[in-house]
Chain A
Amino acid sequence: MKESRLPVALASLAVLAALFAYAALASPYLIAAGFTIVLFVTLSASWNLVSGYTGYVSFGHVVFFGIGAYTASLLATKGGLGWPAATLGAASAAAVLALVLGSITLRLKGAYFAIAMLGASEAVRVAASTWESLTGGGSGITLPNILSPRGAFLLLGITALGTIVLTYVVAQSRFGLHLLAIREDETGAEAMGVAATRAKTAAFVLSAVPAGIAGAANAWHINYIDPESTFPMLLTIQMIVMTMLGGGGTVLGPVVGALLLGLAGEFLWARFPFVHLGLYGLLIVGIVIFIPEGLLPRLMARGILPRTRRL
């Protein structure tokens, strides 16, 4: 199944060049808008890595975004580290948290896992607002300006690209097949020698890293964090809706969903915050009832797109 990787490498380089060009040329408003889009792409693609491929739907993925934001901010303010080291720290913290949380919650199945993750993310949010001596509690942390908005955009843009390429590689690999097998039938997969616990924990950790980096980049971008804005339920909802719309368990599904809804949100809905939320609710209901498998798989089933794990 290993086919030529050249087209993918070229496409990645093209996207990379486009990111650099955009970062250099775009106006501050467009940089901010672009940041939101790459944030959605990164988060949806990271959610897809675990929930789309293994079927373990997480209602609390924002916890990795939040832990990344807090770790980066604390390393920068109290630790005095520069943004590269602090960002790495954020990624590591997210990975460690995923390992710990995953070893507990991934034993649960289906809805139990989903809601346990929701509870876990709320518990971590409570911890962030309670542990005032470390986190500043509800008043949050103000950051020094150590990475420009353009720099933060580029950092997150490259993370988004990296997450997609990672998904592509996973989807082509034996590991990816194992994840899909777990999604389809975990017991059956184990009977075929798939080390399910190990595989899904690995996917969970892999998916937490980009989310942690996104939390750090977001902290650099807005120079301020507090518990309410770093653990927003809405962000988890957006990851779920965007991935479901494009199609979970595909490489480009979350990208399509994030671009569609991110652009629509940026240019159409942003002015009506309350309606905005409701539209996501309507979208969830509509997707579950009308296109539960998502756009890309639907197009593949119709023969409009080729049916391949490469998309």
Chain B
Amino acid sequence: MLEFLPVYLQVIVGGLLLGALYALIASGLNLIFGVLRVINICHGELMMLGAYAAFGLFALWNVHPLLSIPVTFALLFLLGILIEKTLVERVAGAPELSSLLLTFGIGIILTSAAMNAFKADFRSVPALTGSILLWEIALPRARLASFVTALVITGGAYLFLKRTRAGKAIRAASQNALVAETCGIDVARVRLFAYGLGAGMAGAAGNLIALSYSFNPEVGHVFNLKAFAIIVLGGMGNFAGAFWGGLLLGVVEGLTGYFATAQVVDAVAYLLMLLFLLFRPSGLMGAAK
């Protein structure tokens, strides 16, 4: 039995490495949901655009994906602001299904645009290769770097929300928009900013995807469902919940991949999501009201 321990550890560590990436994507989705009450079902597509931005910068000027994160973050932040201002804001106050369908449509447009621009071929950015061995566990350097970077960005966003004035305004608006408004917070601007921030985080996650996985324009779709599953696991609108939910899903997927086939892995997120929706709708950490 004991000789299998390193294998399990390897599987769990692998899951954690991926889980941090999930956590980054899902925290952005949850941030948007918390403030705007919009399930941003084009979140995976924003991430996909980030991955292509990183790919382009690497292919054209040989910029390392870890170094181009600020650039993709800024690009996606601006795109997010554009989307929020011109589209999402127009269905503010409409039934939640309007914004769900709207962002669903935006996602389809982005996928289709990427298909036309970049074709359906899988791409990757081999900027960081090889593994380091820690005890008997192999850690691919690209995934390790992604893991650390994802933790830093998620942690940074968390500190930003906790410590800064703007972050506090965001949290106030996500607790209760009406009360925040009466406290002198410009909620419309907070919504805009929160969407931009969420989109920027998705873009940064795209860089990490590009660094450690291969991707094509359809990669966003899978991540949409997983990110949504994660925020259900962690608690809708709960930033920290998304973080733990991401790590949890990464590990569970890793173990599933080890004990069952790789194809079943994708179904795990949906099944976990269904179970939580039915039996613990407030998630692990409690949903924001």
Asked if chains A and B are in direct contact (CB within 8 A), the reply is yes
Q: How far is the CA of A120 from the CA of B94 in the complex (A)?
A: 27
Among B41, B225, B267, the most chain A Cβ lie within 10 Å of the Cβ of B267
A278-B108 contact, Cβ under 8 Å, with A104-B278, A285-B87? yes
Q: Is the CB of B273 within 8 A of A278?
A: no
- From A227, which residue of chain B is reached at the shortest CB distance? B263
Q: Is the CB of A281 within 8 A of B97?
A: no
Instruction: Please tell me which one of the listed residues B97, B109, B225 contacts residue A57 in the complex, with CB atoms under 8 A apart.
Output: B97
A278-B102 contact, Cβ under 8 Å, with A112-B277, A116-B274? no
Q: How large, as a class, is the contact surface on chain B?
A: 35 or more
Q: How large, as a class, is the contact surface on chain A?
A: 35 or more
User: Which residues between 243 and 280 of chain A lie within 8 Å of chain B, taking CB atoms?
Assistant: 244, 274-275, 277-280
**What residues of chain A lie closer than 8 Å to B111, measured between beta carbons?**
277-278, 281
Q: Is the CB of A122 within 8 A of B112?
A: no
Q: How far is the CA of A233 from the CA of B87 in the complex (A)?
A: 23
Q: Is the CB of A116 within 8 A of B273?
A: yes
B88-115 interface bits toward A, Cβ cutoff 8 Å, 1 = contact, 0 = none: 0011001111101110111111111101
A237-B108 contact, Cβ under 8 Å, with A123-B271, A244-B101, A289-B87? yes
Q: Is the CB of B263 within 8 A of A126?
A: yes
Tell me whether A240 is interfacial, beta carbon within 8 Å. yes
Q: Is the CB of B105 within 8 A of A285?
A: yes
Instruction: Please tell me which one of the listed residues B94, B108, B221, B263 contacts residue A280 in the complex, with CB atoms under 8 A apart.
Output: B108
Instruction: Please tell me which one of the listed residues A114, A130, A289 contacts residue B102 in the complex, with CB atoms under 8 A apart.
Output: A289
**What residues of chain A lie closer than 8 Å to B261, measured between beta carbons?**
130
Q: How far is the CA of A285 from the CA of B42 in the complex (A)?
A: 12
Instruction: Please tell me which one of the listed residues A115, A118, A126, A282 contacts residue B266 in the complex, with CB atoms under 8 A apart.
Output: A126
**What residues of chain A lie closer than 8 Å to B221, measured between beta carbons?**
233
Q: Is the CB of A130 within 8 A of B263?
A: yes
User: Could you give 14 example pairs across A and B, Cβ below 8 Å?
Assistant: A104-B278, A110-B96, A111-B39, A112-B232, A116-B274, A122-B225, A129-B263, A274-B115, A278-B113, A281-B110, A282-B109, A288-B105, A289-B91, A292-B98
